[in-house]
Chains A and B, each alone.
Chain A
């Protein structure tokens, strides 16, 4: 079965410090991996994706993610956190189903950036 795990329910970080939100996956074949962010009472916003190529992927709002095949991980990172980054972050993996495709999401990690 294909799955995504986000081991931390919440991550706290001080503004200006680097942040990491962890994600590990289990999928047969080559994974397509995504990060989304959700602000209160809003839908999900796309941050970045890994399909193939460079293991370090750069996305929106200064976020980046590192694909590590040997560790089956796709951690989200940002060199300097902002208070406005406080939100709910979801990692997702895409796989085909019945000719279509779907995203399987992790349970989410609440990021809290404090002054």
Chain B
């Protein structure tokens, strides 16, 4: 098991609502990345935070936003939820923006949008 934790484990939301997912990074790691894994697919990169600033973004709309806190924990916020946002959301932490270092993943949050 990695030291990366995520909450909640599961949640169900209605289309149009907003959701906040949380992630605590592994001790000593200052970089957090978020991924979306739709059913039957590989994880897709949403964005990365390094020292409280966004440090790279994938092909996701602005209604996907995030924060990183001074203790390097992070939040993923999704506004105006759509049915296609139903997925497993994975948080990964790494050291020094992950350059050459592996990313350690949390167990994920399963989001269902109805």
Task: Please tell me if the beta carbons of B102 and A105 are within 8 angstroms of each other in the complex.
Answer: no
State which of B52-60, B66-74, B78-86 sits at the interface with chain A. Answer: B52-60
Residues of B within 8 A of A (CB-CB), count? 31
Q: When chains A and B are docked, how far (Å) is the Cα of A9 from the Cα of B57?
A: 28
Q: Which residues of A contact B107 (CB under 8 A)?
A: 42-43
Q: Is the CB of A44 within 8 A of B33?
A: no
Interface size class of A (residues with CB under 8 A): 20 to 34
Complex Cα distance, B108 from A90, in Å, reads 16
A44 to B106, CA, bound (A): 7
Q: Is there an interface contact between B104 and A100, defined as CB atoms closer than 8 Å? A: no
Partner of B43 from the list A46, A94, A98, A103 (CB cut-off 8 Å) is A103
- CB of B90 within 8 A of CB of A44, answer yes
A27 within 8 A of B: no
